[in-house]
Amino acid sequence: MSVSTDMLFQTLSSRVKVPAGEFAEYAALTEERNYKKNEHVFRHGDVPRFNLFITEGCMRTYYVGEGGTERTTYFAEEGYWTGDLESMRSGKPTQQNLQALEDTTSVTLTRDKWENCYQKFAWIQEIHAIGQQRRAAKLSEHIGRLLTDSPETNYLRLVQERPRLLQRVPQYYIASFLGITPETLSRIRKKLSAS
Amino acid sequence: MSVSTDMLFQTLSSRVKVPAGEFAEYAALTEERNYKKNEHVFRHGDVPRFNLFITEGCMRTYYVGEGGTERTTYFAEEGYWTGDLESMRSGKPTQQNLQALEDTTSVTLTRDKWENCYQKFAWIQEIHAIGQQRRAAKLSEHIGRLLTDSPETNYLRLVQERPRLLQRVPQYYIASFLGITPETLSRIRKKLSAS
């Protein structure tokens, strides 16, 4: 096993029971892909060809609205999956953009191989179901919190849940994720560090 | 089949292949539950005991933030599932509130029966995976749109996607869902009807 697929195996095994022989078969279908800092994996309008598991580095998902406003909605660090599964599987162009924020290494699985593995391995179906259910729940909660709690509370929650993320990602992406301006975020940070 | 389970069968069959015999077995485990307008199914802090499929009426999911701010994040009409699957299955208290906006009839499945059916019927696993993947994608897009597009664009998108919803739900819930004040929504509607 390479260092990358080893991390994939650890992450999968922490959630479902993965037969080692089947994992080897699965891992043999994956490909490592590397991205430079700021490089895009796909942009709005593309149909993503593969799904990614990050083994080193960090990526952000963002939307571009009317007039070019950008909003970051998701950060994937080591041990996270990212991409746009719905668009990849359906073949409908994605509305998202996926960009590396650091030099990033990922283990990827192209669409046909993804579908074959999904049909073949029960543990993939299981981890997919668990993962998507959790993701839907997290997103629903995120919308609720973003729109009802104060920016300060939302910032403190992020500090607690993803301390490492805040150390590595530029503050304007954090502000964007929290739905506030960089100035507001800067004010919150100053206030908190003074108290 | 009752009228309620008939609608459930139609909805399921439009997405996956459901063996009629297995559906009968599944339907026999469901229970019809009725709610009066404004009645709550569960509140923040509860552990939901069942999941719901709406056959008549309409419900909203909402969050309550600090200081009591309320934000509606989801509307379930006829043919929609609702509840908090993640909380029901994990046993962790929900952060959501679920409330009937009209007299509502639903077909429900309690936790243990839900898990048994999930283990037993491959088509339930399939529809769950499809449904959660689509829901996660929709929520991700919703966050992106809400935060980047203008309130007018977001309102027009809702008009297009769910015309019936706008006829039946009070305007302040629609405004809440769009992340704007009722006054802003009223201004947008006035402007659009004048043009």
Nearest CA in chain A to B70: A148
Instruction: Indicate whether B173 pLDDT > 90.
Output: yes
Instruction: Indicate whether B3 pLDDT > 80.
Output: no
Q: According to the model, what pLDDT value does residue A100 have?
A: 98
Instruction: Indicate whether B69 pLDDT > 90.
Output: no
Residues in A closer than 8 angstroms to B89, CB to CB, are 133
Number of alpha helices (DSSP H) and beta strands (DSSP E) in chain B: 9, 8
Distance of alpha carbon B52 from alpha carbon B78, whole angstroms: 11
Give ipTM to 2 decimals: 0.85
Q: According to the model, what pLDDT value does residue B1 have?
A: 63
Averaged pLDDT, B26-43: 97
Query: What percent of chain A stands above pLDDT 90?
Result: 82
**How many pairs of residues across A and B have Cβ atoms under 8 Å apart?**
122
Q: What is the pLDDT of residues A141-180, one digit of tens each?
A: 888 888 888 999 999 999 999 999 999 999 999 999 998 9
Enclosing H/E stretch for B61: strand B59-64
Nearest CA in chain B to A152: B66
Half-sphere exposure (Cβ direction) of A72: Cα atoms closer than 13 Å: 21
**pTM (2 decimals)?**
0.88
Q: What are phi and psi of A59, to 5 degrees?
A: -130, 155
Q: According to the model, what pLDDT value does residue A157 have?
A: 93
Which one of B62, B140, B154, B181 would you mutate to disrupt binding with A, by most A Cβ within 10 Å of its Cβ?
A: B140
Q: What is the pLDDT of residues B145-158, one digit of tens each?
A: 888 889 999 999 99
Q: According to the model, what pLDDT value does residue B20 have?
A: 87
Q: According to the model, what pLDDT value does residue A1 have?
A: 63
Averaged pLDDT, A109-135: 93
Partner-chain residue, chosen from A70, A132, A149, that has the shortest CB–CB distance to B66: A149
